[in-house]
Structure 1
Amino acid sequence: MTRAWTLPMSFLLCGSVVAGLILRENPEGGVATLLLFVLLAGAHSPLVFPRSIGAEEARRRSALDGRPVVFWRPGCKYCLRLRARLGRDAHRLHWVDIWRDPAGAATVRAVNDGDETVPTVFVAGRPHVNPEPAWVRSQLPPPE
């Protein structure tokens, strides 16, 4: 759990230090710098992703409803890109944080020659590494 928050907390800590140094000379610049680092911390935190579930539960749910399973990890710019470009449709997928779920990490390593390359999206049991967001959206079953 703490590993997922290392990068966002680093952004906040560094941003606070840098903003403190800038505040002495330029108050507006210091506030803007702090705001930038807070936004970066938020974007790289698990908070911007839908709630993660375990790999086994995601497979079970996917078998029932046909929705893709996305294996991701906090701090991954490609995962963030996928999440942002999916918009509201992101909540229609099953998300597995490989840093929280060892079975999810093992699944990703098994299909990526031992690497934890994310996002890895499983559609109908077949893995797709770093697919285009438009393609992922096209794989979603029609809304009910």
Structure 2
Amino acid sequence: MMRAWILPMLLVLCGSALAAGRIVSGAPGAATAIVLAFALLAGVNSPLVFPKSIGVLEAQRRSAVDGRPVVFWRPGCQYCLRLRIRLGRKARQAHWVDIWRDPAAAAVVRAANDGDETVPTVVVAGEAHTNPDPAWVREQLGRSA
């Protein structure tokens, strides 16, 4: 779990260091802007942006019952973030699995991607789709509702 917070923590530390330099040089307005920008970047790259992750076995069980897609992701992945943002509120309908928190999920992703941990990998009806178009995922979510 700590691994998911490394990038956000580094962003906050770098932003704080840059802001401290601006304060020392007499530019508190610029320091405030830097802190806000880096805090925003840290938030976007943290697990907080994504719906609560569940384990791969629970996600597969739920998907079998309700037909909703299972989205395998990891914090810091720009393509996962793109998918999450483009899905908007519909993202909460999918079952999200963080491959850094669940080693079994990482194994599922590797099996679907020839040994690579390429995310986002979306599983619909037992078929894996690597980095699919967000519009297609939104359509799959609409079919399962």
Indicate the TM-score class for this superposition, using the shorter chain for normalisation.
Answer: over 0.9
Deviates more, 1:22-31 or 1:50-59: 22-31
Identity %: 67
* 3-state SS in 2 of match to 1:95: strand
Shift of 1:56: 0.7
Give the 3 Å change call, closer, same or farther, for CA 109–143 of structure 1 in structure 2.
closer
* 3-state SS in 2 of match to 1:139: helix
Report the Cα distance in structure 1 between the residues aligned to 2:77 and 2:13, rounded to whole angstroms.
20
Report the Cα distance in structure 2 between the residues aligned to 1:17 and 1:52, rounded to whole angstroms.
32
For normalisation by structure 1, the TM-score amounts to 0.97
Matches within 5 A, 1:23-102: 23-24=23-24, 25-102=26-103
Correspondence 1:6 to 2:6: yes
**Structure 1 regions of 5+ residues with no counterpart?**
none
Report the Cα distance in structure 1 between the residues aligned to 2:105 and 2:5, rounded to whole angstroms.
18
- AA partner of residue 33 (structure 1): I
- AA partner of residue 129 (structure 2): H
Partner in structure 2 of residue 123 of structure 1: 124
**Structure 2 regions of 5+ residues with no counterpart?**
none
Report the Cα distance in structure 1 between the residues aligned to 2:124 and 2:142, rounded to whole angstroms.
11
Give the 3 Å change call, closer, same or farther, for CA 142–129 of structure 1 in structure 2.
closer
- AA partner of residue 57 (structure 2): E
Report the Cα distance in structure 1 between the residues aligned to 2:65 and 2:72, rounded to whole angstroms.
18
For normalisation by structure 2, the TM-score amounts to 0.96
Report the Cα distance in structure 2 between the residues aligned to 1:132 and 1:142, rounded to whole angstroms.
16
Shift of 1:116: 0.4
Aligned length in residues: 144
* 3-state SS in 1 of match to 2:16: helix
Shift of 1:143: 7.3
CA root-mean-square deviation: 1.1
Q: 1:11-41, CA deviations, whole angstroms, 9 ceiling, x for partnerless residues?
A: 0011100111012231100100010000000
Shift of 1:142: 4.7
Q: 1:98-144, CA deviations, whole angstroms, 9 ceiling, x for partnerless residues?
A: 00000000000111111100000001000000001100000114576
Would you say the 8 A contact 2:19–2:31 is kept in 1? Answer: yes
- AA partner of residue 83 (structure 1): R
